[in-house]
Amino acid sequence: MKTNKKRKGFTLVELIAVIAILGVLAAILVPNITKMTEKSKIAKVKADAKIVLNIIQTAKAQATDDTKITCYTDAVTADSTLIPSKEPNDLMKAATVDKLQAIIDGTKIGAVDYSTWAVLKDFYN
């Protein structure tokens, strides 16, 4: 006489199938998450460039003399009230108006493509 025992647990084939599915999902998701992280960092650099560009343009508009304002450092030297709550990094401080506009627009200046993370990562802080 056979006794019917209820089987508990999963078979080896079922476990391997689940592991394979998880591996496929990980292979799809990890590159996408990396791309999203990179895009968010690029967006932050562009936002910082907009802030610095606005500071320079405001300083130029408020300048009463022929002070030459070409970068962030010149702008905050001319008017210290323009210093933001979070200081930009040194490369962003030294960037000219043309370079800041290229960062914001994601365009090239000469051979430098300001739309790529490889170039923009130095401006990230």
Q: What is the pLDDT of residues 6-17, one digit of tens each?
A: 778 889 999 999
Cβ atoms 86, 44 nearer than 8 A: no
pLDDT in tens, 84-103: 888 899 999 999 999 999 99
Cβ atoms 93, 71 nearer than 8 A: yes
Q: Which is more confidently placed, 50 or 3?
A: 50
pLDDT in tens, 37-56: 999 999 999 999 999 999 99
* Of residues 92, 101, 102, the one with CA closest to residue 72: 92
Q: What single-letter DSSP state applies at residue 1?
A: -
**Percent with pLDDT over 70 in the chain:** 95
**pTM for the whole structure:** 0.75
Specify the DSSP element, H or E, that contains 21: helix 12-62
